[in-house]
A = this chain, B = another copy of it.
Amino acid sequence: MAQRRKKVVAPPTTIRRLSIYFRVLGGLKALGETSTSSGDLANQTGFTAAQVRRDLTYFGSFGKRGVGYDVAQLRQHLASILRVNQDWRMALIGVGNLGRALLSYDGFKNHGYNVVEAFDIHPELVGKTINGLTIHHTRDIHTLFANEQIDMAIVAVPAENAQLVVDQVVDAGTRAVLNFSPAHIRVPDHVKLSNVDLTMEVEYLSHAIHSLKTIAQT
């Protein structure tokens, strides 16, 4: 112990912004742009130039002073930091409306995130094929996860079943869970959890609209 400690680890907020820079760089590349700058990235993302630069410094220095960043090169660096295009194998648990929408979500497949298994608890869905995937029963999660190495589980089941399902996928060795159910999920330290909470966003907005009125008097 008592090791020296520099500012080493990037905040979660930085990682999420990197994902956005990565996307913008993809756009620039598609347009044939070869060079960009922190100011340009700031413009296209709504963050500040200082923040763009600060975010990048957590991982290295990728630009040339006086010049800027090489689009392809910076994009490649971010791909490597974020680990995109690494043929991630994902399983979808819960093939309801939201689950089905996620199955065909372009943003996943196009970046190396492949849904390779689908599960549901409803007997009438089990055995059916959707987007080329046979739907399995959730009771078979453990067995099938063992065969196919699954890196990430997408959980889109009702709140009351969510913890149970997550326990199963964690038990089966999955190390990342993307949870869409409106429930507080507990996972052990070695598992990473990310929540997408649609109700929360809507309620945030309904609060925010209103408080504008209150603030808008200078």
Contact = CB atoms under 8 A, between A and B. Distances in A.
A15 interface: yes
B201 A194 contact: yes
Given A192-B209, A208-B15, A184 B81 contact: no
Instruction: List the number of copies, as a whole number.
Output: 2
Interface string A170-212: 0000011110001010100010101011111111111111111
Contacts of A205: 152, 176-178, 192, 194
Interface string A18-32: 111011100000000
A204 B19 contact: yes
A45 B205 CA distance: 21
Interface in A1-51: 9, 12, 15-16, 18-20, 22-24, 44-46
Contacts of A196: 196, 198, 201
A9 B211 CA distance: 10
Contacts of A203: 15, 18-19, 22, 82-84, 111
B202 A152 contact: yes
Given A82-B206, A101-B101, A212 B184 contact: no
A207 B82 contact: yes
